[in-house]
Amino acid sequence: MAETKDCHGNTIPVYAQGTVSANTIVKGAVPEGSVFSIKVNVTAKQKSLPIAGQFYMLRATKGKCLLGRPISVYHTDILGESKTEKGKFDASIEFLILKKGKGTTELCEFEKNDSVDILGPLGNIFPKPKKNSKICIIGGGIGVAPVSGFAETLEPKSYDFYACFKSGKYGVKNVKAKKLVVTTDDGSVGIKGMLSAALDEKKISEYDIVYACGPLPMLSYVQSICKAADVKSYLSMESRMACGMGVCLGCTIETVDGYKRCCKDGPVFEGDKLIFSKTSACAEQIVAARKNKNVKPDLSVKIRDVVLSNPVIGSSGTFGFGTEYRDVFDVNKLGAISSKGLTLEPRQGNSGIRLWETPSGLMNSIGLQNPGIPHFIEHELPEMLKLKPVTIANLSGSSLDTYIEGAKLLDKTDVPIIELNISCPNVSAGGAALGMSCQAAASATKAIRKITKKPLIVKLTPQASDVVGVALSCIEAGADGIVLCNSFQGVAIDIEKGRPVFDKVKAGFGGPAVRPIALRLVYEVCSAVKNLPINKQVPVIAIGGIATWQDAVEFIMAGATAVQVGTNTFANPNSMVEIIDGLKDFMKRKGFNKIEEFRGCAL
Rounded-to-integer distance, Cα 435 and Cα 460, Å: 6
Q: Using CA atoms, how far apart are residues 394 and 209, in angstroms rounded to an integer?
A: 68
**What does the angle CA 589 – CA 303 – CA 545 come to, to the nearest 5 degrees?**
60
Q: What is the C-alpha separation between 543 and 312, in angstroms, rounded?
A: 10
Q: Are 574 and 278 in contact (CB under 8 A)?
A: no
In angstroms, the first-to-last Cα distance of the chain is 42
Pick the catalytic residue: 136, 164, 424, 485?
424
149: which residues sit within 8 A by CB, 6+ positions away?
A: 52, 53, 72, 73, 74, 75, 76, 174
DSSP string covering 468-482: HHHHHHHHHTT-SEE
Question: How many of the other CB atoms lie within 10 Å of CB of 118?
Answer: 23
Q: Phi and psi of 270, rounded to 5°?
A: -65, 125
d(Cα 528, Cα 148) in Å, to the nearest integer? Answer: 51
Instruction: Give the torsion sign (CA, 267, 270, 273, 278).
Output: positive
d(CA 551, CA 486): 17
Element (H, E) at 216: helix 216-229
What gap in Å lies between CA 561 and CA 84, rounded to an integer?
61
Q: In the beta sheet, which residues pair with residue 393?
A: 418
Closest CA to 593 of 291, 299, 368: 299
Verify whether residue 438 is a known catalytic residue.
no
CB 204 within 8 A of CB 226: yes
Is 43 within 8 Å of 89 (Cβ atoms)? yes
283 vs 207: CA distance, rounded Å: 40
Exposed, middle or buried, 333 (CB in 10 Å: 0-12/13-18/19+)? Answer: middle
According to DSSP, the residues that pair with 594 across neighbouring strands are: 298
Residues classed as catalytic: 424
